[in-house]
Amino acid sequence: MTYRIAYVNVGFLDTLIEDRIAAEAGMRIDYFNGMDTKELPQQVKDADAVIVTLEKFTDDLMSRIPNLKVIGRMGVGTDSLDIEAATRRGIPIINIPDYCIEEVALQAVSLMLAAHRKVVPANKLVSERRWGMDGIRPIHALSGLTLGLLGMGRIGVKVIEYMRAMVGAIAVYDPYLTPDKAPPGVKLVSLEELLSESDMISVHCPLSPETRYLINRENIAKMEKKPIVVNVSRGPIIHEEDLLEGLNSGQVRYAALDVLEQEPPEPSHPLLDHPNALITSHIAWYSEEAQVRMRELSIRRVIDYLEGRSVPTIVNPQAVGAR
C-alpha cells in the first residue's frame, strides 16, 4: 500500500534524505513550508502521516486530517503536540529522543565549564585591553563542587558520564527514577536537597505541567550555595523574571542557557546582555551528524509504523491499535 506523508513547516534546504528513504519504501512525500495550518492544502488533508518540528499540533488540526494514522515529531520535546487528543484519536506520536544525546550533553557541559571558569567575563577583560583578574575571583576547584541534575534521562546520563571525573559529587532529582536505575556513585535526592546542596544545577527534565516554572522565586530562594544554573532542555522550565531577580541579588551566581521561553527573544530581553548570563541560540541539538540522524530516524520510524513494524520511541503507546 502506498501511504502519503506530509512534511509541514519543516523547512530544510533539500529533501534528498527523505525522498531517498520514501522511494525505497514506495511512499510519497509532500512538503509544505511557510504554511498557515488554518488553511490546509488537500494533500495534507489526505495524509496518512504528518511530520513536524515545532509546529503546534492541536486537536482541531488532527480533526481536519481524517486519514491521519501517525504524527512524527522531528526532535525530542513534545510540548507543542496535544498528546491527550492524539491518544484519544488513536494517533501515535513518534519522537526522536536518541538523535542528539552527545550533542546536548556536551552543550550542557560546555556551558557549565564556561560559567564555572568565567570564560565570558575573562574574555571581555581582554577585549577591553585589560589583563588581570578584575571581576573574576573567586573560582573554586571544580573537584570540590557538587553537580545537581534536575531529571536524568538519556542526556542526563551522558552529562554524568562526562562530568563524573571532574566534580566532587553528583546528585539527581528525578521523581521517576528508582535507585536501581541510578548510575554508580550518583546520589538520588529530593528537590529541596538538590537545590540546597548543589554548586551547579543542570536542567534535563522535559517540559510538562509539573515542570513548568520549576525554577521559580520560591525554589531559587532554597539555593543555599548560590549555584550556576544551566538549561539545555526547555525555556519555560525556568521563570525568567525570577531568574533575573536571582542573578541581580546574587542568589544565582551565573545562568548559562541554550533555551528561552520565547525564541527568538525580544532584542530588549534583559538576560541577553546580563553580565552573569551566557545565552546560546538553541544550538545544543546540532552537529552535522545529528542533523542527518534526525532526518533519517524521523522518516524511517514513521514508515516502520505505517508498515506495521515495531518503533522504539512512541510517546503515547496506548494510542497504538486504539482506532
Catalytic residue numbers? 234, 263, 282
Say which DSSP state 164 is in.
T
What phi and psi values does residue 150 have, to the nearest 5 degrees?
Answer: -90, 95
Where does residue 88 rank: exposed (0-12), middle (13-18), buried (19+ CB within 10 A)?
A: middle
Say if CB 49 and CB 5 are below 8 A apart.
yes
> Any idea what the Cα angle at residue 167 is, between residues 161 and 172, rounded to 5°?
65
Q: Is 160 helix (H, G, I), strand (E, B) or coil?
A: helix
> Any idea what the Cα angle at residue 252 is, between residues 189 and 244, rounded to 5°?
125
Minimal CA–CA distance to 115: which of 236, 201, 235, 240? 201
Cell of 82: 496535544
Report how far residue 200's alpha carbon sits from residue 124's, in angstroms, rounded to the nearest whole number. 23
What phi and psi values does residue 29 have, to the nearest 5 degrees?
Answer: -120, 135
Say if CB 57 and CB 82 are below 8 A apart.
yes
What sign has the CA pseudo-torsion 195, 200, 206, 211?
Answer: positive
List the beta bridge partners of residue 51.
Answer: 7, 72
Report how far residue 171's alpha carbon sits from residue 148's, in angstroms, rounded to the nearest whole number. 5
